[in-house]
Chain A
């Protein structure tokens, strides 16, 4: 089983320059932040969905369905109960549910799912090495860019190690699915110790392995794959900028796309 998100492909999105992908990531985040009306937020979400279709990456998204579902449900419950709005449909003590708050909660749920999905899409179509190179080309210092992309790379490695450790503990009789939520959380503590030790050993070893292959952030290096912005990149960048301009106009000029305009 492949525990990493990236999957090689020849789609239009895969072939974009990493700088274009990084900029598109920022465009989509900005678009998601501009609106707090569920219909407009859903529009941004659909745009990300279109990206998944073009990149043929829905299978990657599907892995996170439970996490995304939880994010959506919690946001949909917590916001309507805690936010004051009009008209009030129901109230009990400090809690009330209003049309505005319900709409805002839905929009926030969609926004969270859109944020995470955009990240999944980016990591599904961008190699770790491209992230490093793209960041360097937009003037992020090499050690910072390398550390950032390596950290992203390590997440699935540690998730894989965590899964092995859970299996090892289960085979000693630890039942993680027994008891109430507090007991279950408590039962996860035995996993934390070996995982932490694994993480420390692994990162230490990785640092050693990198140096043994001549890694030196202070030494000028060359790149095997050269980055070059092509017509498709310029097209995507122009389209992204146009969409941002249009969204700002709709939100600020036409005062549309917000259930509660004074909130982000």
Chain B
């Protein structure tokens, strides 16, 4: 049987770029296979996806060499709208790919474009809405759906066109664990139909389910094969990719086995002796910070204007000096709303938020900026200057500081985020990871004592995520208080000493990270799934939340 997709010596260079995004890439995929593409930022994953449905070279024009055949067609010689009938593409950004005014009309847009009769459209809507679990939301407006529902709708709208090939470019990075799970269930369902799936994914634990793994690096195919084999090989982390944490644990323990699941790891480790109950409690209590209270939220409620829903309900929270806190919760649980109430961007509709004992409603923006810095999820909303230097100097200038002080602050802030030497560069010409760090630097220059970061790791590759988190850790050690809004539990496990879990606008769980992470069933109710290392640690009754900490405990 001939392969369903063949790629021969494919190279592509974007306009005005010197380095090719894809370099002499060759490979093939069989009908019905599930292939996962992994690689760091700039590895060429999205470029390859775009080359499969013809967006490259039709939409992104550039230097295109080589040949692609997919389902007997050459995307370079076929219109994108025609390729769309055979190759469905789902993007990471679920907000931007929905444009209709109801779920039903979103589903039919593609079907109308390919000229299906009305009866056939109706049958497909019914079938595929059931697939993606949105059959009861047919008349709802897409803008009012949760993040997970939006992404499922985007997938459903593509599936309804019944393409032979489904290409998904990081479809789960903005979703909470429950939303991700729902997407993986759709993927498995699709796979059972014998159709081909190409998925770009960062999470190594997902890869294990796939038939093939392709590791891309700087536009080249560095490795390709059965995921389990590739993951067990040492070369994986050499590409700057996240290695499954359980394998990392066994590597640190100096053991030859490379377990892939928590069950497997538990069996291999057997019954290691746990800490005594007394020691357990000491460790947990010792992690709680007893510094000065800097932020106090007292029975805070927030309702969005014009009859919106209540986003927060009777929330109480304290933030103390020197803390590194994770604000966790599923999509739509009120995390960003609470963060915006803390820095006064939103005013509570009931209750009060005090910053250093003063109500946030009495602060002017410059006064608040000196106290609380807020880094938005999308760094591009915050950047506007012509140079990096001007960008970072904006905050201190607004505060009316002297030129010399501004210069000093710019220098220090850029050094803190490893962007020194970038002073004269254009902010929008930087990579996503660099722009994210620049947004942090622009906040640091104002010297707030509390830094709030809203989903700072979204859209960054593993290497950049680590770099950013290590930088925040350093800032915390230097005395900054940090609050990080995230739905990635491994971030909380590895960096945060305290966690606050929100669910449906209320504080669901709160306490030292270790204590909160022992409440596995309650976390599950809040659509949160613990990282494998923490699950293993819980099962073995240990304290470690990271591979390193757990290995140390097991060895001792």
Residues of A whose CB lies within 8 Å of any CB of B are 1-4, 6, 8, 59, 63, 127-129, 150, 153, 161, 164-165, 167-176, 178, 190-191, 193-194, 197-198, 201-202, 205-216, 219-226
> Does B366 contact A205, Cβ atoms closer than 8 Å?
no
Complexed CA–CA distance, A63 and B308 (Å):
13
> Does A2 contact B365, Cβ atoms closer than 8 Å?
no
Contacts between chains A and B (CB distance < 8 A), count: 172
Complexed CA–CA distance, A218 and B122 (Å):
24
> Does B110 contact A214, Cβ atoms closer than 8 Å?
yes
B428 at the interface (CB under 8 A from A): yes
Select B345's contact among A170, A197, A202, beta carbons within 8 Å. Answer: A170
Residues of A within 8 A of B111 (CB): 222, 224
B109 at the interface (CB under 8 A from A): yes
A4 and B101 in contact, given A211-B84, A215-B113 (Cβ under 8 angstroms): yes
Q: B428 — nearest CB in chain A belongs to which residue? A: A197
Q: A191 — nearest CB in chain B belongs to which residue? A: B384
- Closest Cβ of chain A to B455, distance in Å, is 13
B399 at the interface (CB under 8 A from A): yes
- Closest Cβ of chain A to B257, distance in Å, is 44
> Does A194 contact B365, Cβ atoms closer than 8 Å?
no
Complexed CA–CA distance, A150 and B66 (Å):
36
> Does A198 contact B376, Cβ atoms closer than 8 Å?
no
Q: A8 — nearest CB in chain B belongs to which residue? A: B139
Residues of B within 8 A of A213 (CB): 84, 109-110, 113, 157-158, 161
Residues of A within 8 A of B369 (CB): 171-173
> Does B53 contact A129, Cβ atoms closer than 8 Å?
no
Q: Name 18 extra pairs, CB < 8 A, besides A193-B384, A208-B59, A212-B80.
A: A1-B308, A6-B101, A8-B102, A127-B101, A127-B102, A169-B384, A171-B345, A171-B368, A171-B369, A171-B374, A171-B376, A175-B364, A175-B366, A175-B398, A194-B381, A209-B96, A213-B110, A213-B158
Residues of A within 8 A of B370 (CB): 173
Select B394's contact among A153, A172, A202, A210, beta carbons within 8 Å. Answer: A172
Q: B59 — nearest CB in chain A belongs to which residue? A: A208
Give residues 84-114 of B contacting A (CB, 8 Å).
Answer: 84-85, 88-89, 91, 93, 96-97, 99-102, 104-105, 108-114
Residues of B within 8 A of A178 (CB): 364
Interface string of B278-321 (1 = CB under 8 A from A): 00000000000000000000000000111110000000000000
A214 and B113 in contact, given A172-B442, A172-B443, A173-B398 (Cβ under 8 angstroms): yes
> Does A173 contact B112, Cβ atoms closer than 8 Å?
no
Residues of A within 8 A of B28 (CB): none
> Does B105 contact A129, Cβ atoms closer than 8 Å?
yes
Residues of A within 8 A of B89 (CB): 212
> Does B117 contact A153, Cβ atoms closer than 8 Å?
no
B222 at the interface (CB under 8 A from A): no
Complexed CA–CA distance, A174 and B367 (Å):
10
Residues of A within 8 A of B118 (CB): 222-224, 226
- Which of B79, B81, B109, B370: most chain A Cβ within 10 A? B81
> Does A219 contact B113, Cβ atoms closer than 8 Å?
yes
Show 24 A/B contacts (Cβ-Cβ < 8 Å), sorted by A: A2-B143, A4-B101, A4-B143, A8-B139, A128-B101, A129-B100, A164-B378, A167-B376, A169-B382, A171-B369, A171-B372, A171-B443, A173-B399, A175-B398, A178-B364, A194-B382, A206-B96, A208-B55, A209-B96, A209-B97, A212-B88, A212-B89, A221-B114, A224-B104
Q: A150 — nearest CB in chain B belongs to which residue? A: B99
Pairs of residues from A and B, 4 with the lowest C-beta to C-beta distance, nearest first: A173-B369, A214-B113, A216-B81, A193-B384
B141 at the interface (CB under 8 A from A): yes
B472 at the interface (CB under 8 A from A): no
B383 at the interface (CB under 8 A from A): yes
B546 at the interface (CB under 8 A from A): no
A224 and B108 in contact, given A59-B306, A194-B381 (Cβ under 8 angstroms): yes
> Does B79 contact A172, Cβ atoms closer than 8 Å?
no
Complexed CA–CA distance, A215 and B59 (Å):
13
Residues of B within 8 A of A202 (CB): 96
A212 and B53 in contact, given A1-B306, A167-B345, A174-B398 (Cβ under 8 angstroms): yes
- Which of B112, B114, B398: most chain A Cβ within 10 A? B112
B438 at the interface (CB under 8 A from A): no
Complexed CA–CA distance, A161 and B382 (Å):
11
- Which of A169, A170, A201, A206: most chain B Cβ within 10 A? A170
Select A211's contact among B81, B366, B383, beta carbons within 8 Å. Answer: B81
- Which of B59, B345, B384, B398: most chain A Cβ within 10 A? B384
> Does B115 contact A222, Cβ atoms closer than 8 Å?
yes
Residues of A within 8 A of B99 (CB): 150, 153, 206, 209-210
Complexed CA–CA distance, A208 and B97 (Å):
9
> Does A219 contact B365, Cβ atoms closer than 8 Å?
no
> Does B100 contact A128, Cβ atoms closer than 8 Å?
yes
Complexed CA–CA distance, A221 and B114 (Å):
6
Complexed CA–CA distance, A206 and B97 (Å):
7
> Does B384 contact A194, Cβ atoms closer than 8 Å?
yes
